[in-house]
Structure 1
Amino acid sequence: LLPLYQGYRVRGLLEMDFLQTTGTPPPSTASWDNPTPHLRQAWMDVETPEGGDLLAGKYWSLFGWQPYNLYSSVQIQAGPAEAYGLFPQARWYLIGHLEGTLLEPAVSIESEEPAFGLPSAVEGLKWAVPGWPGEAMIGATGKGTLPFSVGVSAIETPLSGWMTRGTGASASTSGFNEVAAAYAIDAFLPIVPAKYDNPDSTLTLSGEFTSGAGDGFQFPGLTWGMGNYGTGTPGTALPFGTGIANGNAFVPVQVQSWNLTLQYFFSDHARTSVALGIAHVSAGNLASQADAVGPSSLFGGSLSNGMAKYLLPYNRNQYLHADLWHDFTP
C-alpha cells in the first residue's frame, strides 16, 4: 500500500501456494502428492480521486461478489455449490455513499478459461449498510466484521470451439460460437448484529443463489461426472462441464445453485464460532442431454441394460455442513 498522492493511491498483492484445485485448472503434471507452485493472486489496484478504482491482475471473480460471500466451511475451498474462482481480469468499481449506506457498481473483463477464446464480461451492483455489522468467517480461514449487504451480478461468456465427427479420411469438423449468460444474488444479514464495535454474540445468515448457462467453470470441480476435459468429439464434456457437444450442436449446461449458512460468533475472548449450512447445485438440462447423447459417449461405459444412462452423469449435488472454529493464536 503506497501513501496517498494527489488523490491517487496504489496497492497490490502477490500470493502463491501449492494447491492446484482452487479455481484455476492445474498443470497436467500436478497432483496432491506432486504439487507445483501456483500463482494464487497477483493484482494492482489504483484508487483515483473521483473516478473510482481500477484493478488489474489475477483476482477474485466479480460473479457472486467473491470472496465476501463465500459460505463458512472448514473444508478445503471451494465448497459444493459455491461460486469460487480467481482469474486474470481488468475491473472498474466505485464505492459511493448514499444516506449512510454504500452503493458499489462494478464491471470486469475476466479471462475465465483459455479454451473459451474471448474473455467473459461481468457486471455487479452491491448495496451495504455499515451501521448494521456482524462477525463472520469467510470461507475456511478468513474472519472479519461485515455489514448487511445485498449484491447482484451477471456474467456473459463467449463459448467457441470445434467438434469432430467420424475418424480417418471421413472425419469432419464444425465450429460453434455463442454467448451464455448467468446471474447471481448474494446477501449477508446480521440477525443479532455487533454493537459498539463489539462482535460478541453475533448471529448472521448468509446466502447465494445463481442461475444460468455456461457458468460451470465458476464452480471448481463441478464436472457432472463427465470429466474436466474432453477431446471435442460429440458427446464429451468441454472444460469444467460447461457444455455438451451433441451431434452438430453445442449445448451449454444449465446450472442453478444456492446456499444458506447460519453462523454464531461467541466472543473475542472465546475466539470461537459455529456454523450450520446447506448448499445445493443442479443442472436443468443435463438429464435430457445425457439421454439424447447416450451413456457411452459420456464415459458411462457400454452397459447393455441401459442403467448407465440414468446413473451417469449425475445432475445434482447437495451438501450439509456443521463447522466449529477456534483461534489458538497466543
Structure 2
Amino acid sequence: MPVTSKWDVTAYGMVEFDIMHDSTQSFGESVGATVIQTDDTYAGTHGRTHFTARNSRFGVRVNAPEYAGIKTTATLELDFFGSQAPNIAEAPMVSSGTFRMRQAFIKAEAGSVEVLIGQYYQLFGWQPFFSPATSSFFPLVNQVFGRMPQVRLGYSLKTDPLNLEIAAAANKGPQRDSEIPDVHAGLRVGFNGWKGIHTLGAGGMLHNPLTIGVSGAYRHFKVRELSAAPVYSRSGHGYGLSVGAMVPIIPASSLDDPGNALTLTGSFFTGTGIADLVGVAGNVPPPALPDGTAFAPNIDNGLVTYDASGRLKTLGWTGWMVGLQYYLPPAGRVSVAANYTQGWSDHLTAENGYSDLRTAFSESRYVDGTVFVDITPAIRAGLSYQYSHQTFPDDVTADNGRTKLSLYCFF
C-alpha cells in the first residue's frame, strides 16, 4: 500500500483584474503582435475601454517521494485566457473566459541532470527567466515567448563563483505535416558574486545572480506545392538565435531586502521562419494561385511563403528588447519598470510585393512604463502606460496608446 503522507501538494495561483483604455479599437485584452488599425479607418480613429479578469489562473504542483535519488515533480497550470470564437458577443467574450492549459509537465531530477516532459516555456530564449517586469500581457511585441509540448534534457553545474546550465529540447513544431520536431538548445551562465532582484511580468520578485543566456532553434517546414490540387511538397528550413541578459546594476543581498535594487533585463533575437516564437505579426497571406483563386497551405500564415517564381521562402525577423526595474527604498514595496522593444522583417517590403499588406507589419516599436505597489504581501496594484507603433511595407504607420490599471492577488 503506498505511503501517501510523503507526497507534497501545493496549490497556487492568481486572481487578476484589469481595466484598459486604448486610443484605437485594434486590441482585445492583449496587445502582442496584433495589427494596429490605421487612421483612415473607423477603428483607427476611435478608442475603447476594456474590463477583464481572464488572466486569472490556478495551478497545482505535486512533489513525489524521492526514489533512488530521483526527485519527481508534476505541475498543472490553467487560466481563462483561451481563444474565443470570432465575432463573439460582448458579454460572453469576457464573462465566459475559455479555460486554457498553460503548463502541464513532469520534471525528474537526479543530481545535476534534469528531464522535463510536457508543456512548458520554450527553451529558445531561456524563457521565462529574461522576461521583463510589466503589467502588459505576454508576449510583448518583439519578445521571445511561448509554451509548447516538449521533451527536454538539461545539465547544471553549481559552484560558488558561477552556475552553468546546458539544455536541449525537442519541441512540437509549428507544422505537424513537417514530420520533424523543432530542436532547441541553450547555454546559460550565472555569476553568483553579483545578485539582484527581478520580476517576471507582474509576478513576485526573484533573487538571482547576474545571468547571460544563449540559445538557438532549428525547424523544418514541408508545405503543399503552390497548386489547386497539390501532389508534391516544397521544403524549407528555419532557425533562430537568441541572447538574453539579467544584470543587477544595483545588487541586493537577499529577497527580503529589495530596497534600492536596480536591474536591467535584455534580449536579442534574429532568425527566419520564427514569427510564432518572437511576438511579431504572423498574418502574412499566401500568394494566390495563377488563376487568381486562394491557395490553402497546410501551415499557419507568417512563417513561410511562395515568391513570384514559386519558390518556398521563410520570413526573417530581427528584434531586441531592454528593460529597467527599480525597487524603491526602504522596503521595495513600490517599484517602477520601463521597457522598450523594436523589431523588423527582411522580407515584408514593397519591393517584394507587399505594398498593400495591412494584416501584418514590417517594423514595430513598443514602449511601456509601470508602477507597482505591494499593498500587502499578497495584493499588488499596477498602473501602466503602453505605446505601440507599427510600420507597414509601404511606410504607412499606425499608433496605439494604452492606459492599464491592474490588481493582483497571489496565493
TM-score, normalised via structure 2 length: 0.67
Aligned to 1:100: 161
Instruction: Give 1:30 shift.
Output: 9.7
CA distance in structure 2 between the partners assigned to 1:255 and 1:4 by the alignment: 45
Match of 2:235 among 177, 184, 189: 177
Q: Does 1:200 align with 2:229?
A: no
- Give 5+ residue unaligned stretches, structure 2: 1-62, 378-411
- Using the TM superposition, give the Cα deviation of residue 128 of structure 1 relative to its aligned residue in structure 2, in angstroms: 0.2
> Helix, strand or coil for the counterpart of 2:276?
helix
Pick aligned residue for 1:76 from 124, 132, 137: 137
Query: 2:381 aligns to what?
Result: none
List per-residue Cα deviations over 1:37-82 (Å, max 9, x = no partner): 11110001001135x0100000000000001111222111111110
Partner of 2:103: 41
Which residue type is aligned with residue 317 of structure 1?
A: S
- Give aligned pairs, total: 303
Q: Is the CA contact (8 Å cut-off) linking 2:325 and 2:338 kept in structure 1?
A: yes
Match of 2:268 among 197, 209, 215: 209
Secondary structure class of the residue paired with 2:75: strand
- Say which of 148, 154, 168 aligns to 2:210: 148
SS where residue 153 of structure 1 aligns?
strand
Equivalence map 1:104-183=2 (5 Å): 104-115=165-176, 116-165=178-227, 171-172=229-230, 174-183=232-241
Counterpart code for 1:206: T
State the Cα distance separating 1:4 from its structure 2 match.
Answer: 3.1
- Aligned pair in 2 of structure 1 residues 147, 231: CA closer, same or farther (>3 Å)? farther
| Farther off after superposition, 102-111 or 269-278 | 269-278
**Structure 2 residue identity aligned to 1:11:** T
Once the two structures are superposed, residues 102-156 of structure 1 have per-residue CA deviations (whole angstroms, 9 ceiling, x without a partner) of 0000000010324454210000000002331111111232421121000000000
- Aligned residue for 1:323? 370
CA contact (8 A) 1:235 1:245 kept: no
Corresponding residue SS for 1:164: coil
Q: Which amino acid aligns with 1:327?
A: D
- Distance in 2 of aligned mates of 1:314 and 1:216: 12
Q: 1:125 to 1:99 in 2, by over 3 A?
A: same
Q: What are the residue-to-residue correspondences of 1:276-287 with 2, within 5 Å?
A: 276-287=338-349
Q: By how many angstroms is 1:29 displaced?
A: 6.4
Instruction: State how far apart, in whole Å, the 1-side matches of 2:160 and 2:317 are.
Output: 37
In structure 2, the residue corresponding to 1:87 is in which secondary structure? strand
Contact 2:76–2:103, Cα closer than 8 Å, also in 1: yes
- Whole-angstrom distance in 2 between the partners of 1:82 and 1:140: 15
**Matched-pair contact (CA < 8 Å) for 1:237–1:245:** no
Q: 2:238 is matched by which residue type in structure 1?
A: A
Counterpart of 2:315 in structure 1 is 253
Q: Distance in 1 between matches of 2:232 and 2:275?
A: 23
Q: Is the 8 A contact 2:196 2:209 kept in 1?
A: yes
Query: Residue deviations 1:9-35, cap 9 Å, x none?
Result: 001210011113xxxxx4756974463
The answer to whether the aligner puts 1:62 opposite 2:109 as a matched pair is: no
**1:182/1:164 CA distance change after superposition, 3 Å:** same
Identical columns (%): 23
Match of 2:336 in 1: 274
SS at match of 1:208: strand
Instruction: Decide whether aligned partners of structure 1 residues 224 and 58 sit closer, same or farther in structure 2, where only a CA change above 3 A counts.
Output: closer
Q: Specify whether residues 225 and 329 from structure 1 end up closer, same or farther in structure 2 by C-alpha distance, changes over 3 A only.
A: same
TM-score, length of structure 1 as denominator length? 0.82
| Counterpart Cα distance in 2 of 1:110 and 1:131 | 34
Structure 1: distance between partners of 2:121 and 2:200? 13
Distance 1:84 1:271 in 2: 28
Cα-Cα RMSD: 2.8
Q: Deviations over 1:141-191 (max 9, x none)?
A: 24211210000000001111213335xxxx555411222111000001001
Instruction: Describe the SS at the equivalent of 1:217.
Output: helix
8 Å Cα contact 2:236/2:313 also seen in 1: no
Conservation of the 8 A alpha-carbon contact between 1:128 and 1:149: yes
Higher mean C-alpha displacement, 265-274 vs 83-92? 265-274
